[in-house]
Chain A
Amino acid sequence: MAGTWGKMNSIDRSMATIAVIVLFLLPAPLFFVAWVSFSGEQFLRIPPRDYSMRWYIEFLSSPKWMYSLAVSTILGLVVAVVTTATALFAALAAERMRSGTRGMLEFFIMLPLLFPAAAMAIALRAVNDQLDINATFIGVMIAHVVICGPFAYRPISVNLQALDPSTREAAMSLGASPLYALWRVILPQMKPGLITSLWFSFIISFDEVNVTMFLVGINFTTLPVQTYAHLADSGDPIVAAISVFLIVITLLLVILLQRTVGLRMLVNSESRVSEIQQGK
């Protein structure tokens, strides 16, 4: 596009100008975070007076921080697998429903999108209190599966609808059982949808903080919630070092997705609130 500036019309040019400015500004706060993460001082100051790696060492050698990092990683993986499995099952079920029933099912699946985080947090906290699983792995996992549901269902459902139904029918008419047809014929073609779903769910779960902060306790917490808590009541630069660590992990995951299924999948499978009401 850069070389075509002369051929662009006035609208294109003004749009491009704003776009380029925004594209530069988006990562800007992250650069400042990275800058202070190399501080050698006891307290946050920008610019730092001297530089060191001490906060990275502090983070990586602290059992407290490593524990919550492990919790978040395992949680993300479990949530990704569980959400993707339930979303795949739901999509397979939806395929066999009449359009009215299907609309109802999809309405319920997309429903969590309509709930602002604060409302969701209180409701899920009540669930955890009631089941006596507050501040436990399973309690946070249930919450994350609910939150990730719509984001996992969309790419899988889009992928499933794009498949050619005749391949499965061919397999079944040649004597394959429904399970065999699912395993050997449908699932291999579902790779982009399933990878996007797994990946999206992992990232959402790994980063979630608005709802999760209501569901953790002194002995069980996730990395983002602990980072938030530390940020809210102390002024040392360790949060910057942890932030850089999180930025690097996210970047690696984005590049991983880009290499496997491409980033366009994210754009194409964006959840649509209006479809909830459309019921389609």
Chain B
Amino acid sequence: MLWMANPRLLAIPQLGFIGLFLYGFLAIAWSSFFPDGVFSLDIYASFISEKTYQDILLRTIQVSLWTSAFCVLLGYPLAYFLARARNTELMLLILISPWLVSIVVRTFGWMLILGNVGVINKSILALGIVELPVRMMFNTTGVIIGLVHVLLPLMVVCILSVLVKADRALEEAAGSLGATPLQTFVRVIWPISLPGVYNGVLLVFLVAMGAIVTPILLGGFRQTMVGSQVFQEVFMLFNFPRAAAYAVVLLIVSFVMVIPILLHDRHLRRKRSS
């Protein structure tokens, strides 16, 4: 058999699947320049000139940034706590189980909580805090809440994977040299965990940028994000070239947004290894 002579050929099946996918991406990128069979930059021009399209893109970036920020704020303490907890397996069970439940199910849970006749509104109406239901769904707030819940465990796992490997002796050394807990955290623990935070932010940001189901169910079709807009273009407006152009713009924008983090992460690694 050929692969025994050259084991490197074993990479072919996996590369075949990826190649097929990349071919698909290049094909749609190409088709977005030929919306009616002839070359045209109209779709891309409308992204730049028309406010509706600008808003969709800006809203997507804004929601993804907020989602990443909240995931760090809530996820870091959880990872920190889990890294020190004695019964890590049990805690991981509580963390990981909701993470792996389908996003449709989890988003549905938030619809029950945030809706106009949902748990929160029913409670505050009954308590007389408000007189009319507060709108928590079908706006960006609802989408951010849903996405944070969906992506938080991913962030925690990323930070945790760095924190569990960190050497506790460093902290103890800092403490015995007279550093306050805050100083130890800011100057020892946080820098060690930064690569994990970066990795988490990258993954969470990228997933949030491309999310479809959560923005549709919690955000609706009026104030769309790129994901829900792409869905609308394909299934309601039947405008495949525009959906393709969205996919291209989404990939480029996401990548440009994560470059600073990638560069700083690389800088940190260089510094550490030298």
Binding site for B on A (CB under 8 A): 1, 9-12, 14-20, 22-23, 26-30, 32-33, 36, 44-46, 85-87, 89-90, 92-97, 101, 105, 108-109, 111-127, 130, 142, 145-146, 149, 153, 178-179, 203, 206-207, 209-210, 213-214, 224, 227-228, 231-232, 239-240, 243, 246-247, 250-251, 253-255, 258, 262-264, 266-268, 270-274, 277-278
Q: How far is the CB of B126 from chain A (nearest CB, A)?
A: 11
Count the A-B residue pairs with Cβ separation under 8 angstroms: how many? 311
Contact across chains for B251 and A149 when beta carbons are under 8 A apart? no
Contact across chains for B100 and A46 when beta carbons are under 8 A apart? no
CB contact between B231 and one of A113, A119, A213, A250 (< 8 Å): that residue: A213
CA distance A104 to B265 in the complex (A): 20
CB contact between A117 and one of B158, B182, B227, B266 (< 8 Å): that residue: B227
Interface size, B (range): 35 or more
CA distance A27 to B27 in the complex (A): 41
Contact across chains for A19 and B77 when beta carbons are under 8 A apart? yes
CB<8 Å pairs between A and B, sample of 12? A9-B181, A12-B181, A30-B109, A115-B251, A116-B209, A116-B250, A122-B243, A130-B24, A228-B104, A246-B105, A254-B100, A273-B202
Q: How far is the CB of A273 from chain B (nearest CB, A)?
A: 4
Contacts of A36 in B (CB 8 A): 112
Contact across chains for B21 and A120 when beta carbons are under 8 A apart? yes
State whether A231 and B210 are in contact (beta carbons under 8 Å apart), knowing that A1-B86, A122-B234, A214-B234 are contacts in the complex: no
Contacts of B92 in A (CB 8 A): 258, 263-264, 266-267
Q: Which of B2-23 contact A (CB under 8 A)?
A: 4, 7-15, 17-18, 20-23
Chain B interface, DSSP helix/strand/loop, else mixed? helix
CB contact between A114 and one of B106, B113, B255 (< 8 Å): that residue: B255
Q: Which residue of B lies closest to A257 (CB)?
A: B96
Contact across chains for B17 and A231 when beta carbons are under 8 A apart? no
Contact across chains for A126 and B13 when beta carbons are under 8 A apart? no
Q: How far is the CB of B264 from chain A (nearest CB, A)?
A: 10
Contact across chains for B181 and A210 when beta carbons are under 8 A apart? no
CA distance A140 to B266 in the complex (A): 36
Beyond A19-B77, A29-B110, 5 additional pairs, beta carbon < 8 A: A22-B77, A118-B210, A231-B108, A250-B100, A254-B97
Max chain A C-beta neighbours (<10 A), residue from B110, B153, B243: B243
CA distance A96 to B9 in the complex (A): 10
Contact across chains for B85 and A209 when beta carbons are under 8 A apart? no
Contact across chains for A18 and B74 when beta carbons are under 8 A apart? yes
State whether A273 and B203 are in contact (beta carbons under 8 Å apart), knowing that A46-B118, A209-B104 are contacts in the complex: yes
Instruction: Answer yes or no: B62 CB below 8 A from chain A CBs.
Output: no
Contact across chains for B84 and A108 when beta carbons are under 8 A apart? no
CB contact between A119 and one of B110, B164, B210, B266 (< 8 Å): that residue: B210
Contacts of B206 in A (CB 8 A): 113-116, 273
State whether A19 and B78 are in contact (beta carbons under 8 Å apart), knowing that A254-B100, A273-B202 are contacts in the complex: yes
Contacts of B102 in A (CB 8 A): 206-207, 209, 224, 227, 243, 246, 250
Contacts of A273 in B (CB 8 A): 199, 202-203, 206, 258, 262
Binds A, one of B39-47, B131-139, B211-219: B211-219
Contact across chains for A258 and B93 when beta carbons are under 8 A apart? yes
Contacts of A255 in B (CB 8 A): 93
Q: How far is the CB of B210 from chain A (nearest CB, A)?
A: 2
Contact across chains for A263 and B21 when beta carbons are under 8 A apart? no
Contact across chains for B152 and A26 when beta carbons are under 8 A apart? yes
